[in-house]
Structure 1
Amino acid sequence: MPSKQFGGRISEKWKSQYRLSPNWKDGSFKNLFETRTAVNFRQLPGILCKQLKGHSEGNPTSALPICPLNKMYFLETGEKAKFVWYGHSVVLMQLHNQTILIDPMLGDDASPIAPKKTRRFSADPLSVIDTLPEIDLLLLTHDHYDHLDYSSISKLKSKVKLYYVSLGVKRHLVSWGIEVNKIVEFDWWQTKAFNDIQITFTPTRHFSGRGLTSLSKCLWGGWALKTDQENIWFSGDGGYAQHFKEIGERLGPFDIGMMECGQYCDDWPEIHMFPEESVQAALDANVKVAMPVHWGGFNLSYQHAWYEPAEKFSQYAEQYSLDYVTPSLGEVFDINTKTGHWWKKYQ
């Protein structure tokens, strides 16, 4: 029996729905720009060797603590949105009296089907779910294991009212027992209203898949959330390209942008952004306050130290006069919160 981790199989029924998307071509979803998503076969042995060896500072000196959630304060009605970052790309937010959770990968292993485990920097991360309030809306950007986690989705199931997901993710959730009428799929630039919040799925330059037979059989992207008072953008995974300017022109300016910044490497330069590119993407998209995400959870790249994404993002943001926040794990914050370089204690 195939592992539950793989998710839903791609039946003809699912494919017939995907074919209706302008982004589905020749049997898979495609990027807006020419993108190299696979490494050269001849490079593979060297890359695997470097990945197994890892970076000398690939992990923190001790487990990263997660602040206990002050649920009463988090749920208090206020004029400004509140956020909590749990490492990597997991973001909890309180927006317009709605509790929204993005990419809740709170499992201990980002490579559950690989021979070598990719352990989380924090101990017992799944226990965070026990402390969370009821989730009005759960957003998923794509189906990679470091964003869509079977154990997390299973544990969250009783707390979540509704799921907005990228086109192709529904089949995974259905296979894991989520009611089909609770799941809404999005193509790029599609917008839906959710309790007076306009939610748009924005394009990224990436790929997807949970196995060799499911490569790019699910769309990838980011999320923009707009109320009459605030405009928030979660960039999603992906390399730098011209689409960031279009996102800013069509949906910006953004009060805060949560920018992918981490797990970059010269061997896959077009599918993850380097820190200077993350800052430039925020500027392109007209982001007022930027926050680096996709770091602080796992070591998925042998090229950089675990803390380097935040360190370099901060340097480039200051160089280009971009306001930014770098909250610690579990800290409740808003766009005006003063944050520091907390990671230095764990270098």
Structure 2
Amino acid sequence: MSEQTTAHVSPQVQDGKFRNPARMHKNSIGTVAKIMWRMIFEKPATSVPSQPIPVHTLSREQLLAAPDNTLYRLGHSTMLLKLQNQFWLTDPVFSKRASPVQWAGPARFHETPISIEELPPIKGVILSHDHYDHLDRAAVTALAAKTEYFVAPLGVGDRLVEWGVPAEKIRQLDWWRSVTLDGVQLVSTPAQHFSGRGIFDSNSTLWSSWVIRSPGVNIFFSGDTGYFPGFKAIGEKFGPFDLTMMETGAYDPQWPDIHMQPEETMQAHIDLRGKVLMPIHNGTFDLALHAWYEPFERITALAKQREQVLATPEIGQPLSLEQPKAEQKWWRKLVDSNAAEVPREAAGATQ
């Protein structure tokens, strides 16, 4: 078994399954069937970009020469961070599809800015949970030889061991527990979500958000989560944050507990005492019924209304973690003028 406190009994476990602190909304079989029907047959044309997403290609030499405390968004929830002159990856997904198979399922809107082979050595991979758009087996297998540590919620590390990652490289944490690796402190913090990669393993592993602390920089990574009171507790204990990387996408009123509406994302950022918000979990995969650009539009309008600062770098574009102010509405250049758009600067827009 990978390194973890085996004597520790997680308070998140009940009846052999991990659970959320709050009772979760559960859809009926009929509602689930309707959701699946809509996802398959009623997708709007705007759920996928009509033009290529801009991508800044990266090289190993460029990354090695970059200043410390720099972030690159590689797509969806995959971020490459340079901290203490070492490289860290969050939820690395490099495969073409976020799916159990590569011949079906949500396909990428864009290529990754850099291949796994071209990446410099990775100090650590930080995993939030085991869903396919966050835990890519092919990427983990390819990264294993060049990565020193894999840091994951309870149970997720055991999957990595099954895939051939050496157990000594893995650190598994329960909520509110931390590990410090070469000057970078990682704290597993609560999230409201679920886990599982198949029909029979529902909630057999834990899901987490993460506090990432390096000298001079304090960052929050939401992973996947619904809105819940825990954001205030995290903000009180570990904030303020220089940057919050917050899920803003793949939402719908029909699954209210496990993904946040943009209004909830903004409130969570404020609860966390974040200085700058970077919306993630968008712009790479078609995972919901809203237009692909709608999360950007809604969070931009909300930031204006609530006088908050956004960072919306293009894919592969460097972002300083010390001064992460890089709001640019790059997505608007791609929106087909003939498409049915959500009203710009209208935070209350719905699909």
Return the TM-score normalized by structure 2. Answer: 0.89
Matched, 1:149 2:150: no
Matched, 1:309 2:295: yes
Q: Which moved more, 1:274-283 or 1:64-73?
A: 64-73
User: 1:235 aligns to what?
Assistant: 222
Matched, 1:327 2:313: yes
Q: How does 1:117-196 map to 2 (within 5 A)?
A: 117-123=105-111, 125=112, 128-196=115-183
Equivalent pair of 1:108/1:126 in contact (CA under 8 Å): no
Q: Which amino acid aligns with 1:43?
A: T
Q: Which moved more, 1:255-264 or 1:333-342?
A: 333-342
User: 1:3 aligns to what?
Assistant: none
Matched, 1:102 2:90: yes
Partner Cα distance (1:127, 1:18) in 2: 41
User: 2:326 aligns to what?
Assistant: 338
Equivalent pair of 1:67/1:330 in contact (CA under 8 Å): yes
User: 1:270 aligns to what?
Assistant: 257
The 3 A distance-change label for structure 1 pair 213 and 76 is same
Equivalent pair of 1:75/1:94 in contact (CA under 8 Å): no
Instruction: Render the CA deviation track for 1:166-197: whole Å, top value 9, x for unaligned.
Output: 11111211111100111010100101111122
User: 1:281 aligns to what?
Assistant: 268
Gap regions ≥5 residues in structure 2: 336-351
Equivalent position to 1:82, from 50, 70, 79: 70
Equivalent position to 1:300, from 265, 282, 287: 287
How far apart are 1:144 and its partner, in Å? 0.4
Partner Cα distance (1:185, 1:118) in 2: 29
How far apart are 1:317 and its partner, in Å? 1.2
RMSD between aligned residues: 2.2
Gap regions ≥5 residues in structure 1: 1-10
User: 1:226 aligns to what?
Assistant: 213
Return the TM-score normalized by structure 1. Answer: 0.90
Matched, 1:208 2:233: no
Partner Cα distance (2:169, 2:212) in 1: 19
User: 1:5 aligns to what?
Assistant: none
Partner Cα distance (1:315, 1:45) in 2: 33
Give SS of 1:131's match: coil
Q: Which moved more, 1:89-98 or 1:221-230?
A: 221-230
User: 2:15 aligns to what?
Assistant: 26
Number of residues of Structure 1 aligned to a counterpart in Structure 2: 331
How far apart are 1:228 and its partner, in Å? 3.1
How far apart are 1:34 and its partner, in Å? 1.3
Partner Cα distance (2:38, 2:7) in 1: 37
Q: Which moved more, 1:327-336 or 1:277-286?
A: 327-336
User: 2:347 aligns to what?
Assistant: none
Give SS of 1:223's match: strand
Moved over 6 A (4+): none
How far apart are 1:301 and its partner, in Å? 0.6
Q: Which amino acid aligns with 1:89?
A: S
Matched, 1:68 2:57: yes
How far apart are 1:127 and its partner, in Å? 5.9
The 3 A distance-change label for structure 1 pair 272 and 283 is same
Q: Which amino acid aligns with 1:30?
A: R
How far apart are 1:122 and its partner, in Å? 1.0
